[in-house]
Amino acid sequence: MASEPQGGLTEYIQHHLHHNTLVLDDGSNPFMRLHLDSLVVAFALGVLFCLWFWLKARRATAGVPSKGQAFVEMIVEFVDTQVKDTFHGDRRTITPLALSIFMWVTFMNTMDLLPLDAPGWSVKAVAGAEAAHHTFFRWVPTADLNTTVGLSVAVFFIIIAHGMKAKGGFGFGKELLTAPFHAESLGVKLVLMPFNFLLNLVEYLSKPVSLAMRLFGNMYGGELVFMLIAGLFASWISFVPGVLFNTAWGIFHILIILLQAFIFMMLTIVYIATAREHH
């Protein structure tokens, strides 16, 4: 959160890669640590998204819509069209899920466009430079692997639930053991069951891994580029080139922000549709 590089570019980047962490044990277990900055920002953005759409829904009119209502309706229609083209079934629960994923991930990704040192400037103005140097806060929840893994694990359980709902518990379990390799003979079926189960297990587990790593990798890389630009152009002499580089990368990064949210949403829809299909 330092407002300017202290100790060189490497220390500056390492400082900005630290999370505001709450340790729940003696520090020996990495799974007993909470990244408070990711949790707080993600929760606040989720509330902001829900409040925005709730207010627009309450004020919606049947006549000529306002610009805000038209914009929200355009987003909803866009997401619903993607769901309708991909998921051929009852989409009353799929469209709200896809909309929530798309908007929440977009909101979290967009935090990457805010000034990198804004939290540091705030702390420095209130408590001084030393306090700012020892305070950590990262803006972008999706640049934290814990956030993307949490989202993808939630999607994974939703996929499993849809598969069991469409095929029943027994049918879902049977398909894990009898597909994709089929056989008429009982003996051959028993031999193929471990291979079928292993292939299905790899297929299912690869889905949350790919979702989490794709989103995290793109957002972490984008955040790192902003850190490099901020560190390289930190002096007043190079202030103008730094602004130009940051602006150029920010404009390009908008495409990445929206594209990654769209990909996460589309893969979720595709995975749910696949889970509901019978072999």
Q: What are the residue numbers of the active site?
A: 210, 214, 218
| 8 A C-beta contact, residue 35 and residue 157 | no
Helices (H), the chain: 9-16, 36-58, 67-86, 94-110, 118-127, 129-133, 145-178, 186-232, 239-276
Name 132's Cβ contacts closer than 8 Å, sequence gap at least 6: 1, 2, 3, 120, 121, 123, 124
Q: Give DSSP secondary structure letters for 163-198.
A: HHHHHHHHHHHHHHHHSSS--SSHHHHHHHHHHHHH
Alpha-carbon Rg of the chain, whole angstroms? 23
For residues 207 and 198, give the distance between their C-alpha atoms in angstroms, rounded to a whole number: 15
Name which of 229, 221, 224 is nearest 246 in CA terms. 229
Q: Report residue 74 as tokens.
A: 């355009």
Phi-psi region of 21 (alpha: psi -120 to 50; beta: other; left: phi over 0): beta
End-to-end CA, the chain: 52
Q: Report residue 48 as tokens.
A: 């902001």
| 8 A C-beta contact, residue 262 and residue 106 | no
| 8 A C-beta contact, residue 259 and residue 45 | no
